Amino acid sequence: MKTFDAKTVIALIEAAKTEGSRDQILDREINENFNLKDVIEEVAVHYIERAIMQEGNIRCASKVLGLGSYQNTLNWATRYGVHEVGKTKKENLERKVISKLSEKKQLVKI
């Protein structure tokens, strides 16, 4: 189970207040299918991946994200499944499986 302090929730909500994402993040319908933790995770993954891609590494991404240190950013990335720049754990696994099958000349569609 993931827990968030108030400062983290506020920071993530503020980060989501860009014009293009306002409808997608802040104006979602709240009903029985709404899950705040999922929304927070979506925002965190988006900005961590974006900062790493923009800055080129986690150390520099830490500064623009305001997370303070490389270790804090690495902890956030690990918590939310960001294992490579722009890659999630599932995408990394799929890439590895396709790579192994390609080596054996046994390509299959996933």
Is 37 within the bounds of a domain? yes
* Residue 110 to residue 108: CA distance in whole angstroms: 6
Question: In terms of residue numbers, what domain contains 74?
Answer: 6-103
- Tell me the per-residue pLDDT of 12-70, one tens digit each, with 9 for 90 and over: 766 665 545 556 777 888 999 999 999 999 999 989 988 988 888 888 999 999 998 88
Q: Please check whether residue 20 lies inside any domain of the structure.
A: yes
110 found inside a domain: no
Q: Number of folded domains in the chain?
A: 1
- Higher pLDDT residue, 69 or 107? 69
- Between 35 and 100, name the one with better pLDDT: 35
Nearest to 37 by CA among 66, 8, 68: 8
Q: Is the pLDDT of residue 98 over 70?
A: no
CA 50, 52, 57 angle in degrees (round to 5)? Answer: 170
pLDDT band at 82, cuts 50/70/90? confident
Q: In a 10 Å sphere around its CB, with 0-12 CB exposed, 13-18 middle and 19+ buried, how is residue 62 labelled?
A: buried
Q: For residue 79, tell me if it sits in a domain.
A: yes
Q: Give the pLDDT score at 86.
A: 47
Residue 109 within any structural domain of the chain: no
pLDDT over threshold 70, residue 90? no
pTM of the model: 0.56
Is residue 49 in a domain?
yes
